[in-house]
Structure formats: structure tokens, C-alpha cells
Amino acid sequence: MKFVLLWSDALFFLLIAAMIAGGVWASRQPHLRASWRKVGQSRVAIGSAAVLAVFFAIAFVDSLHYRPQLPATPQGEVRYSTEVLSALDALLLPLRTQTEKTYSAPLATHLFAKETLDDAGRDFPPLRYPGTHLFGTDKVGQDVLYLTLKSIRTALLIGTLTTLIMLPAAIGLGLLAGYVGGWVDDVIQYLYTTLNSIPGVLLIAASVLMMQVVIDTHPEWFATSAERADARLLALCAILGITSWTGLCRLLRGETLKLRELEYVQAARALGVSSALILWRHILPNVMHIVMIAMVMDFSGLVLAEAVLSYVGIGVDPNTISFGTMINTARMELAREPMVWWSLAAAFIFMFVLVLAANLFADALRDAFDPRASR
Amino acid sequence: MSLLSVRDLSVSIGALRPVDGVSFELERGETLALLGESGCGKSMTALALMRLLPAGGRIAQGTIHFADEDLCRLTEAQMRHVRGGKLGMIFQEPATSLNPVMTVGEQIAEALRFHTGDTRRVVELLAAVGIPDPERRAREYPFQMSGGMKQRAMIAMALAGAPELLIADEPTTALDVTIQAQVLDLLDGLRRERGMAMLLITHDLGVVARMADHIGLMYAGHLVEMAPRAAFFAAPGHPYARRLFEALPEMAQEKRRLATIPGSVPPLGTTFTGCRFADRCSEVLPVCHRELPPWREHGPAHQVRCHLEVRVEQIVRKVGAGETASVGVPAPPPALLTVRELKVHFPIRRGILQRAVGYVRAVDGVDLTLPAGRTLALVGESGCGKTTVGKAILGLQAPTAGEIHWQAEKLQGLAPERMQMVFQDPFGSLNPRMRICEIVAEGRPSVDVARILEQVGLSASMADRYPHEFSGGQRQRIAIARVLAVAPQVLICDEPTSALDVSVQAQILNLLAELQQTLGLSYLFITHNIGVVNHLAHEVAVMYLGRIVERGTVAEVLRAPRHPYTQALLAAVPRIDGRRMDVKVAGDPPSPSNPPAGCHFHPRCPRAEARCREAYPPVVSVSATQSACCFFAK
Ligand code: SF4
Ligand code: SF4
């Protein structure tokens, strides 16, 4: 067995570490503690946080990648499979390996379509593992529950890494535009109005296609197909990040404009404190609640964006399991007669629960942290 | 029977009791002033009368009889007819009480329709509240009117239902003194004309002296003294009332320490046994902590809720004690800071290209000199540019023209080691996310925080706490500590006490005076409060529309003002001895983007002549130290 650390894994671990560190830091801040207590008192917040935690745990286990060892060759040489598996795959071994021939309905005992059987003419052939597929199986007989569980990592990565990529730009440029003003403000405003005025899908489609060309012309960069899919996933995050920082940036610019006129900022300026220090000490901590709320709100938007983009074919690598690719294949399945509805239903249920939990949590956070909402 | 009779009224909001057992009566045609500092429950009492308590608030006990009806028993639908009908109310903030998307006329018509069904009286009402050109004004939107105008419109609306009782909650607190004087005159006139009763809610002793027939003093949800005006001002019975008078800067002997009340008003939710003032009372008796003091007769119709027996004759209160002429002011030391021809103009930008179509001349040629160790007060109404002057001198605002000299050296930009600023709002001037020690050490991280905190009268143990744990007065001390840490020689104080209660204001003024003596600081004191000027300043400069119109020593400017604007400003300040001067100014200050030609004051000046409209008057020296910009200053 050989461990594999994909780029997205590294970033994901980093993110989780940062979230834990941030949580510890926030719980030590007296001015935040009261707000966190308010979050803790809300039953909705606790419930949605628990759901999110389960999703994150699944994604975490799914990010521990390795290449299994192949049976030793006669020469005694150790070889590894080119297939990259994750700890989740190992945990879900029965789900992954208990495949059928083709479609079967949820918890069915027989295949979905009739086949010519050896002895008795055409009939529904019995399943190899009857009654074990909670959400049925797909065209190649893979368990749909397994697919949805694997999709979670993709969705969470897109939702979180994208925010991570856009945050520095949004915060940095927003604060700078609001605080420095003048031509800096003009340039930044020009930048985000321009970006905003290009239809988002168009911009993303163009960048994704370009990125695809680059990846396809350099096959030597990637040792395994998993690495290639991973690179594509990261690139998608970057592209989404670049096109989605404008909203938060504008919010932060406005808030900074307001904070800049506050007397404690004026007092700091009068004391000769440098602008960088004022931004760091006075402005940033007082806009953090906006950043946090925006992050959780954007998260659900991004999860949905991935589904839409993959559906139109400009999202993740077609080999990456994601809600988007599942929905994409479901398009054909829905057109079949009789209809195969369970992959779409499974994807829909999981996405719905994830996005709903994220939104409820965002609302609870806003109620607790936004000083205007509490009044 | 009296028009309004409140018996044992208590208001509860959750577990809090902002009003606790208040009783009073109000006759037709009389004015009762409920007086008190912030958080004493006076506004809550008014809202309870209107049955407009905030969410979660309810009348816990007591009765309100108004014109033979028990208001507590009425249904909400019946109450709507009483409210705005027989019972009118005007609020502190005219800007937020009017609907910005309806014309003023429509809003008054709406009130008329609801209460009388007759909407033709709009213009008549606007005329009654002294709005010039009422036909045109009725078609205007609130944003087209000045603050004073809006307050008049609010009064017109309250009059629509021909109320028998008008409740005025701090009706002039948001207004400038000259406008305040106009609005107070209007209210008093209307009351007399219409035989209304008026319940005036205020914290301002001057306003009370000017308006009230009877006074109810509130403290921490209790009424503690009820008295006719004359008796209250001649011989206040409650120790709290006496301390309040002594804490007024206009009452103090010049340049003496002000009497202060230690601490601040107890927060809502404090549980009391005994007298609620006991922790701050200097005359406290052992019994005070144990037993709630009973009402005692102090004089005719004058009751006091205090254990202490004081006879009227024992109370010696010196009205106008501050009038002593200052004797032989020593020649001012050489100037530390000199400001010459300072101008700050803000461009007004319009159109796509953002071209400047005009300028707001916020500061338009100001000269100032500030000697070492002295206090120069810069006085003026809101919008006259006084804060901008302070910021420009400090370097927070780039001047359009003019020079600032530190002794012989020309200053450019900030000079943090020399000049610092104390701001108005003690809640906005401290970063809520920083601890006190971080705030104090902000300008100079190496400073000894404990020593500085003690210097401003705070204990060193507070260093690790956060600003929200402190009261307004303590926050202002922290803000002062922060600037003292860099050891400046000049402090620019921008209305440092205007957001504070009288008793706390006195503490801060004393602290500033003390620091001036021990550290030799110079103050540029920006304020609109004449009482504070009288107490603290050595020299005064009066500003109107971006320019200084009169300057001189405190004695000269406050006792013998030469500029008509200064005279009007001083006359407009409500005095607690109830004396009235009759120099009146009409109208509102014009906009600094389009100042009137000639003397800026001529549209409002009672003495204006033809030449005032043509040229700006020169500086006329009256004495070695006093000068005024008026053709008739001599
Ligand atoms: S009852 Fe006692 S503590 Fe209260 S005001 Fe009177 S003397 Fe002071
Ligand atoms: S110059 Fe004329 S208008 Fe101006 S203040 Fe003097 S008298 Fe009034």
C-alpha cells in the first residue's frame, strides 16, 4: 500500500486544520463567545451543524488516498495499482465491489430489464446481491449509494476550496478599495464591475475549455488518471473562485468605507498608526462576521454551481464522481422507458440535505453574529 | 379632576422594571416636565401613556386616567383614536419620524383625515407652527426641509387631532440652540393659545426652567422629587437634584472644580433595597440602604422622596454664581499653535464624469492661535465647520489652503507626538474588539498602561477588560488615556461631553482641567455648549458658516458679545435661572455650499443693513483681545 497525497487532499486537510484553529481561536475571544453561545442555543444551528459534520467526516475519509499493492511478480518486485483508492473505498468495500450487471431498482431482487435467460426464455434475472442496494444500481451495475457518498467529497471540495481561493482576493481588494480610496478604489471597482458584467457561465465555460486543452496536451504531468482528474477539479475551483469574489469584495468595500469614518479608526490615524496596522487591527476584525456569513452562504451556491456546470459538461472530469456527473447521466436515464429515476433521486436527496443544512447554519450564524440582525 | 392622572404606574420589559411606581397629575393648560438622566425611565413613562411600549414591554401595574377614561382598559382600536387625537406626541428625532416618500402635506392630511375627516386644514396647521410659505412647503418632501422645519412639521401633525395633552419627548435635543429656542417658543405659544396640557420629557435643566410649571425628577425608574418650578430651582430638596445643579458647568465658579456625583446611573435590572440613589449620595444615612424613603412634604406642593430632613432655609443655592467677572487675566503665553487662513472645501460632484460643479466651503479662511497651557473654545452650531477645523489642524483632513505652524515650524500632515484628538462619541471611539490595555497602548506600545489609567481616574485592574463593560464616562476616560499615552502637548477635544449625562460630564470636565494643570496641556475645545465654554475656556472663537465671526477672552465674548450672531446664540441658550434675553434670530443657517453674499449672517441678522448684503464685513477690533466681523461691532 502506498499513500498518495493529491493536491486537493492537502488543501482540504489544510482547510480543516484552519477551521479547527479558527474555532479554537474564536472560542477564546470574549466578544465572540457570546455570539457562539447564541449559535449553540439554537436547535436548528446544532442540527444543521451535525449534518454538516457528518458530510465533512465522509469527505475527510474519502480524502485519505492510497494505491493498493498488487500481488508480487514472480521476480519479487513490489508493484502498485494505477488505481487510486481512498479510505472510504476501503470502508465501503462491499458497496464498491458488489456490482450487478446493469440497472436495478432500489432494494430490488431482480434486474430492471428483462433478459434472455438460458433456461426459461426472457425474464428479470435475479441479482447477485438481492436487496442490498438501497438506491439501486446504475447502468454498469455500480451501487448508487456508493456513488452519492463519493460525490460528497467533490461537492465539499468545490464549496470550500473555492471560497478559500476567493477569500484573499475579496478581503484584500475590498479592504484596500474601501480604506485607501482614490485611484486604487477606482481600479478595483472597475475590475469587479467588468468581471460582473460578463455572464458568469460564459466566463467559466471559456476558462474551463482552455484549461482542458492545457491538461490534454500535457499528459506527462500526471502519473495516474486520478491526478489528472484532481488537477481539473482544482482548476475548476480556481476558476469559480476568480469569478465569484466580486460579491463579497463589494460588501467589504462598503463596510470598510463606513468603518473608516468611525472614531476609533480616526483616533488610530491621529495616533500615527500605519495604514496596514489599522486595516489589520481595526478594520479586519470588524468585518470578519461578514466574511464568515458570506462564506457559508456562498458554499451552498457553489455546490449547486458544480452540479449545473458538470451537467452542461464544463464541470469536473467526467471520470470524477460528483453530483453533477450523476445528474448528467440521469438525463439519459430519465428519457428511457421505463424511467430510471433513482440516481437522480439519490443525488437530489443528498444535495438537498447538504445545501439545506448549510443554509440553515448560515442563517443561524448571521442571526448570532450580525450586530444589525440582533436588534 | 385633573386631565391626566397616573397612579402607581410600573412598566416591565421581561424581568426589567424601567418604570417603577410612578404617580403624578397634570392639569389642563399646564406643563409638567419629567426630568432625568438617560436610563431613568422618563421616556418609557411617556411611551406607557401612549401605550406604545417596545416589544416585550407591558404595563405591569397602575392606572392612567386621561380625560375621565382609563387608558389601560381601552382596546387597541379605541387607543388609536386617542393617540394622535386627544393625546399627541412628538419625538426627539424629526428625521426618522416623518415618512421620506410622502410630502409633508400628505402626511398631515392623513392625520387630519383619521381624526377629524377634514383635510383642508393642512396649510392652516403649517402656518400655525410658523412654517413660512405653507402652501409651497406642504408639497415638499421631508428631505427638502431642515431639521427645525421637520420638527415643526411633526408638531403640526401632532396638532392635527386637536390634542388636549401633548407629550414632547426631548423635542429639541437634536436641534441647534438657535433653532431650539424657536421650537420651544412655538410649543409654549401653542400650549397657551390652545389651552393644551404638555408633558415634557427632557434631561436639560435649562429647557425645564424655560418651559415647565411643575417638575418631576426621575431617578432609576422612581420619581424622587415633585415640585413647582420656582420652588425646585430655588430650593431643590433631593440630594440628587442638588448635585445635578452643582454639576452644571454654567453654575460653577469659573475655573473651579465642578461638583460631581460619583459613579453613574445604575443599569436597568439592578435590584434595590432602600434608596436607589444611596450608592452615589454624599449625604447617605445608614437607614437609606435598608428602607425605601417615603414621600415627605418639602414645601407647598413640593415633595421629596428622601430620608434626610432638610428645611428649605438650609439650602443655599447660588443662582448665577458663575457671573463673577474674571480678575486680571494674565497675558497669554506665546502661541504654540498658529493656524492661518485655513480652508477646507469639499467638491460637489455631478454627472457621469464626476466633475466638480461647486464646493461646500466647510472651512473658509480660519485663523486661530493656541497658546501653551490654555484652552481655546471653538463654538458654533452644527454644520458650521468646527469639527472640520479640528480634523484639518490634526492632519486627518487635508486642507485646501492655509498653513498650520507649530511655534516657528510649518506642519504638514499628522504630528501624533504633538497633537491628539478626543472624540465625541464614547461608544464609537473605542474598537469593541480590543482590550483596554491594547487600546491605551495603541499609539505607544511601550507605555505604562497602569500608570496612565490611574492618571485618568481608572483602576489598573481594568486593563484586561473590553470596552462594552464600561459606561460612557469611563469610555471617555479610556479615550483620554489613549491620547495621553503619546504625551501630546495639544488636545483637540471634539464635543467630548455632549453624549454624556450632566453628572458624568462634570467628572470629565474636571479631569480635563486637572490634566491641564498637571501636564500643561493646551486644549482646542470644539463645542456648542456655552456652559462648558464658560467653565473651561480661556479664549473663545465663534464660528458661523465656515468663518470665525467673533473672538476674544471668555469674559469678553460671553459677557459683552459684539457680533449679532454671538448675541443671538447666547440669548438662545435656555438658562436655568429662567431669565430670558430677547435677541431672537429667525430662520435656519444657510448651506455652506451656497453662502449668502456679503455678511453670511445677514438673512438672519436683526441689524442687517444694505451694505451688509454687499460686502463681507472686516474684522473690527473691540479691545486688545476681542474682535468681531461686523460693521457695527464698535
Ligand atoms: S434617602 Fe438617603 S441616600 Fe437617598 S437621597 Fe436621601 S439621603 Fe441620599
Ligand atoms: S455685518 Fe451686518 S448682517 Fe453681518 S452681523 Fe453685522 S449687522 Fe448683521
Q: Same domain, yes or no, for B290 and B363? A: no
Q: Same domain, yes or no, for A338 and A189? A: yes
CA distances from B289 to A219, B21, B262, B276, B489 (A): 87, 19, 17, 8, 45
CA of B315 to the centre of ligand 1 (A): 16
B281 CA closest ligand 1 atom index: 8
The ligand placed nearest to the CA atom of residue B219 is 1
Q: Is residue A85 assigned to a domain?
A: no
Q: Is residue A94 assigned to a domain?
A: no
Return the exposure string of A256-269: e unless at least 16 CB atoms fall within 10 Å of the residue's CB, then b: beebbebbbbbbbb
pLDDT at B483: 92
Q: Same domain, yes or no, for B85 and B183? A: yes
Q: Same domain, yes or no, for A152 and A136? A: no
pLDDT at A374 over 50: no
Q: Is residue B164 assigned to a domain?
A: yes
pTM across the whole model? 0.80
Q: Same domain, yes or no, for B84 and B208? A: yes
**B582 three-class SS:** coil
Q: Same domain, yes or no, for B265 and B355? A: no
Distance in Å, alpha carbon of B338 to nearest chain A alpha carbon: 19
Q: Is residue A231 assigned to a domain?
A: yes
Q: Same domain, yes or no, for A358 and A287? A: yes
Q: Same domain, yes or no, for B346 and B380? A: yes
CA distances from A90 to A128, A227, B169 (A): 21, 19, 73
Q: Is residue B575 assigned to a domain?
A: yes
Q: A270 and B482 in contact by Cβ < 8 A?
A: no
CATH of the domain at B143: 3.40.50.300
Pairwise CA distance, residues B470 & B472, whole Å: 7
For A215, phi then psi, to 5°, come to -65, -40
| Residue stretches of chain B with pLDDT short of 70 | 251-256, 310-332, 578-583
CA of B600 to the centre of ligand 2 (A): 8
**B568 three-class SS:** helix
Q: Same domain, yes or no, for B157 and B242? A: no
CA distances from A73 to A67, A79, A83, B121, B615 (A): 17, 8, 18, 105, 107
Q: Is residue B68 assigned to a domain?
A: no
Q: Is residue A199 assigned to a domain?
A: yes
Q: B433 and A285 in contact by Cβ < 8 A?
A: yes
CA distances from A262 to A257, A259, B313 (A): 9, 5, 51
Q: A273 and B425 in contact by Cβ < 8 A?
A: no
| Residues paired with residue B83 on neighbouring β-strands, in sequence order | B87
Q: Is residue B423 assigned to a domain?
A: no
Q: Same domain, yes or no, for B263 and B156? A: no
Assembly ipTM: 0.78
Q: Same domain, yes or no, for A224 and A361? A: yes
Q: Same domain, yes or no, for B37 and B87? A: yes
Torsion of CA A38, A44, A47, A53, to 10 degrees: -70
Pairwise CA distance, residues B489 & A340, whole Å: 83
Pairwise CA distance, residues B4 & B32, whole Å: 11
Residue B230 one-letter amino acid = A
B564 CA closest ligand 2 atom index: 5
pLDDT at A370: 66
Q: Same domain, yes or no, for A124 and A273? A: no
pLDDT 10s digits, B531-548: 889 888 999 999 998 899
Of B488, B493, B487, give the one whose Cα is nearest residue B529. B493
Q: B414 and A262 in contact by Cβ < 8 A?
A: no
Q: Same domain, yes or no, for B132 and B264? A: no
- Among A83, A115, A142, the domain boundary falls at A142
Q: Is residue A324 assigned to a domain?
A: yes
Q: A31 and B432 in contact by Cβ < 8 A?
A: yes
pLDDT 10s digits, A167-216: 888 999 999 999 988 899 999 999 989 988 888 788 888 888 888 888 88
Q: Same domain, yes or no, for B92 and B165? A: yes
More confident call, A74 vs B215: B215
Q: How many domains does chain A have?
A: 2
Q: Same domain, yes or no, for B165 and B107? A: yes
Q: A267 and B433 in contact by Cβ < 8 A?
A: no
Distance in Å, alpha carbon of B430 to nearest chain A alpha carbon: 5
The residue among A259, A260, A266, A281 with the most chain B CBs within 10 A of its CB, best to mutate, is: A266
State whether residue B418 sits within 8 Å of chain A by CB: no
Strands of the B335-350 sheet, one edge to the other: B355-371, B335-350, B401-406, B409-410
pLDDT 10s digits, A349-369: 998 999 899 889 888 887 887
State whether residue A272 sits within 8 Å of chain B by CB: yes
CATH of the domain at A210: 1.10.3720.10
pLDDT 10s digits, A226-276: 888 888 888 888 888 888 888 899 999 999 999 988 889 989 988 888 889
Pairwise CA distance, residues B434 & A37, whole Å: 20
The ligand placed nearest to the CA atom of residue B598 is 2
The residue of chain B nearest to residue A26, with distances taken between CA atoms, is B433
Q: Is residue A54 assigned to a domain?
A: no
Q: Same domain, yes or no, for B198 and B339? A: no
pLDDT at A371 over 70: no
Q: Is residue B106 assigned to a domain?
A: yes
Tell me how crowded residue A25 is: count the other CB atoms within 10 A of its CB. 10
Q: Same domain, yes or no, for A200 and A338? A: yes
For A227, phi then psi, to 5°, come to -65, -35
The residue of chain B nearest to residue A266, with distances taken between CA atoms, is B396
In the numeric block, the cell 432609576 is attached to: B220
Pairwise CA distance, residues B602 & B455, whole Å: 48
Q: Is residue A243 assigned to a domain?
A: yes
**Domain boundaries, position A156:** 148-374
> Closest Cα to atom 1, ligand 2: which residue?
B630
Pairwise CA distance, residues B302 & B320, whole Å: 23
Question: At a CB cut-off of 8 Å and minimum separation 6, what does A85 contact?
Answer: A65, A66, A67, A68
Q: Is residue B442 assigned to a domain?
A: no
Q: A272 and B483 in contact by Cβ < 8 A?
A: no
| Residues paired with residue B547 on neighbouring β-strands, in sequence order | B544
Residues of A in contact with B416 (CB under 8 A): 270-272
The C-alpha R_g of chain B, in whole angstroms, comes to 26
Q: Mean pLDDT over residues A64-75, rounded? A: 82
Q: A271 and B466 in contact by Cβ < 8 A?
A: no
Question: At a CB cut-off of 8 Å and minimum separation 6, what does A5 contact?
Answer: A65
The residue among A264, A273, A283, A289 with the most chain B CBs within 10 A of its CB, best to mutate, is: A264
Helix, strand, coil distribution of chain A in percent, nearest 5 = 70, 5, 25
State how far Cα B133 lies from the chain centre.
30
Strands of the B165-169 sheet, one edge to the other: B87-90, B165-169, B197-202, B31-35, B214-219, B222-228, B302-305, B295-299
Q: Same domain, yes or no, for A201 and A272? A: yes
> Closest Cα to atom 4, ligand 2: which residue?
B599
The ligand placed nearest to the CA atom of residue B617 is 2
**Cβ within 8 Å of A, B 367-396:** 391, 394-396
Q: Same domain, yes or no, for A168 and A188? A: yes
State how far Cα B437 lies from the chain centre.
31
Q: Is residue B443 assigned to a domain?
A: no
Q: How many domains does chain B have?
A: 3
Q: Mean pLDDT over residues A115-121, rounded? A: 72
Q: Is residue B375 assigned to a domain?
A: yes
Q: Same domain, yes or no, for A156 and A137? A: no
Residue among A30, A264, A272 whose CB faces B429 most closely: A264
Average pLDDT, chain A: 85
Q: Is residue A80 assigned to a domain?
A: no
pLDDT at B376: 94
CA distances from A244 to A101, A163, A209, A240 (A): 42, 9, 18, 6
Question: At a CB cut-off of 8 Å and minimum separation 6, what does A274 contact?
Answer: none
Q: Same domain, yes or no, for A187 and A216? A: yes
**Domain boundaries, position B379:** 335-418+488-629
Q: Same domain, yes or no, for A254 and A106? A: no
The residue among A271, A281, A374 with the most chain B CBs within 10 A of its CB, best to mutate, is: A271
Of A32, A36, A40, A45, give the one whose Cα is nearest residue A364. A45
Of A132, A137, A113, give the one whose Cα is nearest residue A124. A113
Grid cell digits, residue B248: 452644571
